[in-house]
Homo-oligomer: A and B are copies of this chain.
Amino acid sequence: MGVTIKEIAVICGVSPGTVDRALNDRPGISEKTKAKIIEVARQLNYQPDYMARSLAKGRTMTIGVVLFDLYNRSFAQLMNSIEAECRRQGYFVDLVLTNKDPDNEKKCIEHLLHRKVDGIIIFAINYGEAFDHYLKSLNVPVVTVCNRVSGDWSYIGIDDRKAMKEAVQYICGKGYERFVYVCPPLSYRGKTNIFTQEERFAGCLEGLKECGIHEPPVIVTDKDYVGAIGRMSFGDGEPRTAIVCSCDIYALEVMNHLKGRGLRIPEDVGLMGFDNIDVLKYVTPALTTVEYDVEQFGLQAVRCAVEQIEQGSAAPVPLLPYRIIAGASI
């Protein structure tokens, strides 16, 4: 712990009030005494007690961030931009990771409450009325990112449904006849918050319908989705098939599997991802995917949280833009 105002006062032979006046640039002190006190404070590396100040103000100048993990590239990029914007705005960041475990998420939130964060940015794994009610009981501004909890919370994201619908329409335009949709999180329907994934899936169905594809897609929700793809036939004699993955990371695993089987992408089977994670640039063939600016998510989330904290409420944030990246895999 650094030196205190009282200690500086003793060293300078003045009262603590005089030290306070000098350090906070208030009147009632001679320039000479002020200069001396500031010099002593500098030499002793005095740090103002922001925490005590925060207590007086009733604020900790801290935003709590609740994410699944940092393994997913998108989450790491999101956290990177949240940290940068928080620091720009003078806020501290307390980071907690839930590992997609609903019970753990509540513990993480309690953890942040103990710290008396001024606001919370959350990529929620819990959902439903009970969780919505729980969040309200916290009496802390909350901004939801990617996974919606209810219409009562600020939300930062893209129109995932529309984006996937357009992606599927793009694929249909390439003459594919059979569709496989890979999304393991759908198996958590009714258990955890899979809002984003539900939206993407609904968009896929809408896109197929609008393109006049009446055969429903083969839906792969197995945790071992690669094993499930492994039991399917593609190429010669099979209908022209596109494997649509709800995240790039699934598409990369599927791509490895298809290559291992000696299948050519897209000649034998088409492949589409979603997210445009930065590692795609090292992968051949270039994956066709949907891009959005995840750093904008972080920026907007922090701005929205700060607006709520400092002004009591925030204007709704419009859904952010996205675009289809035409790679070489469809």
A275 interfacial by beta-carbon distance below 8 Å: no
CA–CA, A255 and B87, complex, Å: 36
Q: Annotate A319-330 by CB proximity to B: 1 below 8 A, 0 otherwise.
A: 000000000000
Q: Which residues of B contact A278 (CB under 8 A)?
A: 71
Minimum Cβ distance to chain B for residue A138 (Å): 7
Residues of the B chain whose Cβ atoms lie less than 8 Å from the Cβ of A130: none
Contacts of A284 in B (CB 8 A): 259, 284
Whether A50 contacts B115 in the complex (CB less than 8 A), given A70-B80, A83-B96, comes out as yes
> What residue of chain B has the Cβ atom nearest to residue A83's Cβ?
B97
Category for how many chain A residues contact B: 35 or more
**A93 touches which of B50, B77, B94, B279 (Cβ 8 Å):** B94
- Taking the complex as formed, is A282 at the interface, i.e. its CB lies under 8 A from any CB of chain B? yes
Per assembly, the copies of the chain total: 2
- Does any Cβ of B come within 8 Å of A55's Cβ? yes
The yes or no answer to A226 lying at the interface (CB within 8 A) is no
Contact present for A92 and B115 (CB under 8 Å): yes
Contact of A76 with B by CB under 8 A: yes
* Docked CA distance A281–B138 (Å): 43
Q: Which residues of B contact A232 (CB under 8 A)?
A: none
Q: Say how far A30's CB is from chain B's closest CB, in angstroms.
A: 28
**Distance (Å) between the CB of A262 and the closest chain B CB?**
13
Q: How far is the CB of A181 from chain B (nearest CB, A)?
A: 21
The answer to whether B84 touches A79 (Cβ under 8 A) is: no
- Other-chain contact of A279, B58, B95, B138, B282 (Cβ < 8 Å): B282
B-contacting 9-mer, from A7-15, A41-49, A210-218: A41-49
B residues within 8 A CB of A111? 87, 92
Q: A55-B55, A70-B83, A83-B96 are in contact. List 10 more A-B contacts (CB 8 A).
A: A1-B116, A51-B55, A51-B60, A52-B55, A62-B115, A71-B76, A76-B76, A84-B97, A279-B279, A279-B282
Question: A interface vs B, CB < 8 Å?
Answer: 1-2, 45, 47-52, 54-55, 58, 60, 62, 69-71, 73, 76-77, 79-80, 83-84, 87, 92-97, 108, 110-111, 113-116, 137-139, 252, 255-256, 259, 278-279, 281-284
